[in-house]
Structure 1
Amino acid sequence: MLTLPPLSLYVHIPWCVQKCPYCDFNSHGQNGELPQQEYINALIADLSHDLQYVQGRKLHSIFIGGGTPSLFHASQIKRLLTHVSQVIPFKDDIEITMEANPGTLEHDDFAAYYQAGVTRLSIGVQSFSSDKLNLLGRIHDENEAKVAAKKALSAGYKSFNLDLMHGLPNQSFDEAMADIETAVGLNPPHLSWYQLTIEQNTLFHSRPPQLPDDEALWKIYEQGQQRLADLGYEQYEISAYAKPGFQCQHNINYWQFGDYLGIGCGAHGKITLLDDNKILRTVKIKHPKGYLAADDHNFETTEVIAADRALEYLMNRFRLMSPIPKSEFEQRTGLSRDVLSSGISAAKEKHLITENSEFWELTTKGKLFVNELLAQFC
């Protein structure tokens, strides 16, 4: 039976200093002074339309992403979070994350963002090699990245994350391992460690850099995973590692097929409507000018029909390393677990998944070959 899952809020702030050549997110290079007050006003108006989807729930988490949200003054972030708290009740232990770029954030403002209500920072380091940072188009250097991490550690936050990439242009095994060692030396409770991929509609797609070959990538991934485990970081999601108790609750809600409101330019949302037995996906107007000028910020709302719910759930849930409760599948999709029987049987034959009366669990092979696993359910 379909039940209401936890509710999160995603806030998109689309501006950054300059567009990175690998980035396919909805981000726009800063051109002059940012319309901070006007954009926060628009976010507040956008949220008012989506209050119909709250359905009596308290807010589980907030994630302010971009772009580079730390381009906005702490006073504006506080104004937004104060308004959100006035119209949607917060859980006592709510996690509120904001992304920050070491090249744009005045480190003395860490305390100001904390006072504004942010409880967790996600710092886009990507690498500690000046050479690699230049190739990636990042505007910070390795020293700024280190200072940012140290300031986050001392500023009162419950947690902070460092974003780190591997498989970078011309990156050697030793360089990739050195990035891990430097990052861990800064004692972040959480690390996002993921491989650079070349996406369409990016500068790297039109001018591909020389990346490590598959054998080198596998060595980096295998040895990097082991090193992070040895250092006390548990892999709980495909590209996320955390010390015990510091997993990102916002992202876990995504991957468990929870609900989230999405406000801001191009923001996506996913909503369960219990009374109507529906699951909706929402998308907001993508371009800042159009978004700021709009009275209705919604671009598109589509229903996730029953025939698609199982695969959508699995595409999200297979990112997590934890066992999958069969009851969770039924509660989040409104479908019987029996609809997965043939796919589960095929996956078990290929040693991609195991099961008992209460759980399904990916095998080591299943975790490495998620696309092959998903193919059993298509």
Structure 2
Amino acid sequence: MLTLPPLSLYIHVPWCVKKCPYCDFNSHRLNGDIPEDAYISALLHDFQNELSQVQGRAIHSIFIGGGTPSLLSGKAYQRLFDGLQKHVSFTDDIEITMEANPGTYEHDRFQSYIDAGVNRISLGVQSFQDEKLQKLGRIHSAAEAYQAIKSIIESGFTNINIDLMHGLPNQSLDDALHDLQRAIELKPAHISWYQLTIEPNTVFYSKTPVLPPDDTLWDIQEAGQKLLASAGFEQYEISAYSQADKRSRHNLNYWQFGDYMGIGAGAHGKLTDLSTGQIIRNWKTRMPADYLAASDEQQAFETGRRILAVDELPIEFMMNVLRLNHGVEQGLYRARTGENLDSITASLALAQQKGLLEPLEQGRLQPTPTGRLFLNDLLELFT
């Protein structure tokens, strides 16, 4: 039986000081001052248009991504959160994450973010080596990354994630482990360690840099996982490693096929409608100027909406939950999709036969170690 999942909120801030050459997110170089007040008003208007999707739930996590959300002030976020809570409740233990960029931080702002209600910071370091940062087009140096983390800690944040990339241009195994070791020494609660991929519509796609060969990438992955484990970081998802009880609640809701509202230019949402038994994906207008104009003219922000067909549900569900090392309980499939697990018996049997999925007798939908290494092959069985 289809049930209402937990509800999260994603907020997109689309501006950056500079667009990185590998970035395919909806981010736009800021020219002049950020229209802070107007954008907060637009976000609140956008949220009010979505209120019917709340369906009586409290929001249990918020993630503010971008772009560079730390370009907005703590005062702006205070106004935003106050406005949201006029229409919906936050759980007492809500996790509110904000992405920040070491190249745009201001020490006083971190305290203002805490005062506004932000309780988790995700800092986009990517590398602690200046040469690698320059090749990635980042606007900060390694020294600025260290200083930003120091300021975050001094401000009172205890739940800090460091974003790191590997497989960087001309990166060696030693280079990658150096970055990881520097991050570990700073004692964050969480490290997101993911491989650089070349995406369409990016500068790197048209001017691809020299990347490490596959053998080096495998060595980096294996040695890095061992290093993180020895430092007490548990890998619970493909690129997510946490200290005890510090998993990202917001991202776990994504990976467990939970619901999330998306507000902001280019934001996406996934929502369950119990009245119709449908699961809906929607997305908002991408260009900041168009998004702001929609608010001024009292127009709809949504530019796309798609109801998931029944035959899409297996891959939509599996492409999320099978990212988790330990997967999910089998009963979650019916709770999140409304469909019986029996409907995909053949795919499940083939996945087990190929050694990509743990035996169903264990009561979980869980990839094997081989299945995690060859996740795309596993997912193809559910398309």
After TM superposition, the score normalised by the length of structure 1 is 0.99
Q: Structure 1 unaligned runs (5+)?
A: none
**Pairing 1:97-112 to 2, within 5 Å after superposition:** 97-112=97-112
Who is 2:336 aligned against? Answer: 332
Who is 2:357 aligned against? Answer: 353
Who is 1:117 aligned against? Answer: 117
Residue 188 (structure 1) aligned with residue 215 (structure 2): no
Counterpart of 1:166, as a letter, is: H
- Secondary structure in structure 1 of the residue aligned to 2:334: helix
Residue 213 (structure 1) aligned with residue 213 (structure 2): yes
1:48-90 deviation line (CA, Å, top 9, x unaligned): 0001100000101000000000001111111101111221111
The 1-side partners of 2:44 and 2:319 are apart by 31
The 2-side partners of 1:240 and 1:201 are apart by 26
The 2-side partners of 1:111 and 1:228 are apart by 30
The 1-side partners of 2:85 and 2:188 are apart by 28
Residue 351 of structure 2 contacts residue 378 of structure 2 at CA under 8 Å; is this kept in 1? yes
1:99-133 deviation line (CA, Å, top 9, x unaligned): 00010011232111110110100000000000000
Which of 371, 374, 381 is matched with 1:376 structurally?
Answer: 381
The 2-side partners of 1:7 and 1:305 are apart by 22
The 1-side partners of 2:355 and 2:306 are apart by 35
The 2-side partners of 1:369 and 1:8 are apart by 29
**Pairing 1:78-97 to 2, within 5 Å after superposition:** 78-97=78-97
Which of 348, 352, 362 is matched with 2:367 structurally?
Answer: 362
Counterpart of 1:187, as a letter, is: K
Residue 327 of structure 2 contacts residue 366 of structure 2 at CA under 8 Å; is this kept in 1? yes
- Secondary structure in structure 2 of the residue aligned to 1:356: helix
Who is 1:307 aligned against? Answer: 311
Who is 2:24 aligned against? Answer: 24
Counterpart of 1:348, as a letter, is: Q
Residue 317 (structure 1) aligned with residue 354 (structure 2): no
- Secondary structure in structure 2 of the residue aligned to 1:362: coil
Residue 164 of structure 1 contacts residue 192 of structure 1 at CA under 8 Å; is this kept in 2? yes
Who is 1:13 aligned against? Answer: 13
Counterpart of 2:75, as a letter, is: S
Measured after TM superposition, the shift of residue 147 of structure 1 is: 1.4
The 2-side partners of 1:51 and 1:322 are apart by 34
| Count of residue correspondences | 378
1:313-343 deviation line (CA, Å, top 9, x unaligned): 0011111112321110100000001012101
**Pairing 1:38-57 to 2, within 5 Å after superposition:** 38-57=38-57
Who is 2:176 aligned against? Answer: 176
Residue 2 of structure 1 contacts residue 331 of structure 1 at CA under 8 Å; is this kept in 2? yes
Residue 322 of structure 2 contacts residue 366 of structure 2 at CA under 8 Å; is this kept in 1? no
Who is 1:198 aligned against? Answer: 198
Residue 153 of structure 1 contacts residue 188 of structure 1 at CA under 8 Å; is this kept in 2? no
After TM superposition, the score normalised by the length of structure 2 is 0.97
Residue 321 of structure 2 contacts residue 327 of structure 2 at CA under 8 Å; is this kept in 1? no
Measured after TM superposition, the shift of residue 300 of structure 1 is: 1.1
The 2-side partners of 1:37 and 1:323 are apart by 42
Counterpart of 2:326, as a letter, is: S
Measured after TM superposition, the shift of residue 357 of structure 1 is: 5.7
Counterpart of 2:322, as a letter, is: F
Residue 353 of structure 1 contacts residue 363 of structure 1 at CA under 8 Å; is this kept in 2? yes
- Secondary structure in structure 2 of the residue aligned to 1:92: strand
The 1-side partners of 2:287 and 2:17 are apart by 17
The 2-side partners of 1:262 and 1:376 are apart by 30
The 2-side partners of 1:319 and 1:352 are apart by 12
1:278-301 deviation line (CA, Å, top 9, x unaligned): 111110011011111012111111
Q: Structure 2 unaligned runs (5+)?
A: none
Residue 255 of structure 2 contacts residue 321 of structure 2 at CA under 8 Å; is this kept in 1? yes
Please tell me the root mean square deviation across aligned C-alpha atoms, in Å. Answer: 0.9
Measured after TM superposition, the shift of residue 242 of structure 1 is: 0.3
Who is 2:228 aligned against? Answer: 228
Counterpart of 2:361, as a letter, is: N
Residue 158 of structure 2 contacts residue 189 of structure 2 at CA under 8 Å; is this kept in 1? no
The 1-side partners of 2:364 and 2:69 are apart by 39
The 2-side partners of 1:361 and 1:68 are apart by 35
